Amino acid sequence: MSSTTSGTGAPERPAFRFHPKLWIAAALLLALPAVAMQLTSEVNWGPGDFAVAGLMLLVLCAAIEAAMNYLTALRWRVSAMTLAALAFLTLWAHLAVGLFD
């Protein structure tokens, strides 16, 4: 029996791979408004703003992790990550203009 197949003939799925650079980039992106608030009075985020942005980044990164770990075809990975990024940007833009206030 080959090491790449299980007893059913289906290829074995590789182990889950964590991508820390993705999560570090999200944390740095979340830190940008905090730094900007120290430099200028034009940025004025409250705790709720940081919570919503953090939740949005958490969902985005989890969707990207899921796409990278569970989708095997490159076209499906790219499509899923593009869809996740577009959904994130759409929600961010709607929140930025106050559509959901």
Locate 6 and state its tokens.
Answer: 């299980």
Task: Give tens-digit pLDDT for 26-40.
Answer: 999 999 999 999 999
Instruction: Check if the beta carbon of residue 36 is closer than 8 Å to that of residue 28.
Output: no
C-alpha triplet 16, 78, 28: angle, nearest 5°? 70
Task: Give tens-digit pLDDT for 61-92.
Answer: 999 999 999 998 999 999 999 999 999 999 99
**Where is pLDDT greater, at 68 or 10?**
68
Handedness of CA 69, 75, 80, 86 (dihedral sign): positive
Instruction: Check if the beta carbon of residue 84 is closer than 8 Å to that of residue 71.
Output: no
**pLDDT for the residue numbered 47:** 95
φ/ψ region of 13 (left if φ > 0, alpha if ψ in -120 to 50, else beta) reads beta
